[in-house]
Amino acid sequence: MCLAEVLFNLQSREERKDIVLDRLPDNYFPEGEDGFARELSRARDYSEIINRFVVDYIQLQVNQDNNADVGSVLENGNLRTRIREMLNEFYEQNVIDIFEADGNENIFTMSGAKNLHNANRVTRSISARLGNFLEIIASISPYAINPEQVFGLKIKGIDLIIVNRNTNNLEYIQLKTTRGTLTGSQITRAGAELSIHQFPVFAAAFDITPWTFNHDTIPRVAGEQFWGRIGMDYDVVHSEVVSLIKRIDESWVKHLN
């Protein structure tokens, strides 16, 4: 049995993590003169091990999906159902807590502008939590893996490892909500994090706002260009997230009244 099959048949990410880390040298410690350099070194070392088996692992996911009794999760009806279930769970687990949280002191609290403070607090919190959750939604695809979720390993700057359905390239993805999510020093950092991989991609889940990330060798994709490479219909993802945001908006109005 190959390593991919061994890992695929395990029940927990902790078990998978132990087996992957066993491939590191004894007394392993990442190279680098500072914390960020060591994080990049660790990311490179982890990815070198993962690259030995991850294509086969993803193929096992694809095979399992192709043999599902109800059809592939990538079929639009199945995809919509799965995303809706996940977003309903997101709503139940996050929204009320966000509404009722006090938030941090800021210019609005300093000014006694309660309405602006609450609006700022709620939109920022929802954007942050939903942004992280989009990685999980993308992991619905059998062509994608969230390395932290599956192997218990955080690869610096990488949210997903995918096999591109169009090219069969093994791509390391940094996923943001919109094209303009990064600012300032984050752009340089993202470039450094992605550059250590053979096929890096900077991706935006939704094809809105101007780009802020720019790099000579790292491609950037948004909306359909991202979701299509893992076989997910962008229109389905977009419409379900829009429905969630409208539901949150309606609930916020009721909460204020």
* Predicted pLDDT at 64: 97
Least Cα distance to 150 among 24, 78, 46 occurs for 46
| Residue 93 CB neighbour total at 10 angstroms | 11
Q: Find, among 149, 36, 38, 40, the residue nearest to 161 by Cα.
A: 149
pTM of the predicted structure, to 2 decimals: 0.93
Distance CA 195, CA 219 (A): 11
Contact partners, residue 94, CB within 8 Å, separation at least 6: 126, 129
Residue 9 CA, chain-centre distance (Å), reads: 23
DSSP letter at 2 equals -
Q: How many other C-beta atoms are found inside a 10 Å radius of the C-beta of residue 91? A: 14
pLDDT in tens, the chain (257 residues): 699 999 999 999 999 999 999 999 999 999 999 999 999 999 999 999 999 999 999 999 999 999 999 999 999 999 999 999 999 999 999 988 888 887 777 777 778 777 777 788 889 899 999 999 999 999 999 999 999 999 999 999 999 999 999 999 999 999 999 999 888 889 999 999 999 999 999 999 999 999 999 999 999 999 999 999 999 999 999 999 999 999 999 998 888 88
Predicted pLDDT of residue 104: 76
Residue 1 has a pLDDT of 63
Per-residue model confidence (pLDDT) at position 240 = 98
113-121 long-range contacts (CB < 8 A, ≥24 apart) are: 118/256
Token couple for 154? 């955080």
Per-residue confidence (pLDDT) for residue 118, from 0 to 100: 79
Find the length of the chain. 257
Taking the C-alpha atoms of residue 242 and residue 236, their distance in angstroms, rounded to an integer, is 10
Per-residue confidence (pLDDT) for residue 203, from 0 to 100: 98
User: What's the pLDDT at 81?
Assistant: 98
Residue showing tokens 């309405």: 115
Give the Cα separation of 116 and 103 in Å (integer).
12
Q: Dihedral sign, CA of 52, 58, 61, 66?
A: negative
Class of domain 3-67+143-231: alpha beta
Give the count of beta carbons closer than 10 Å to the beta carbon of residue 67: 8
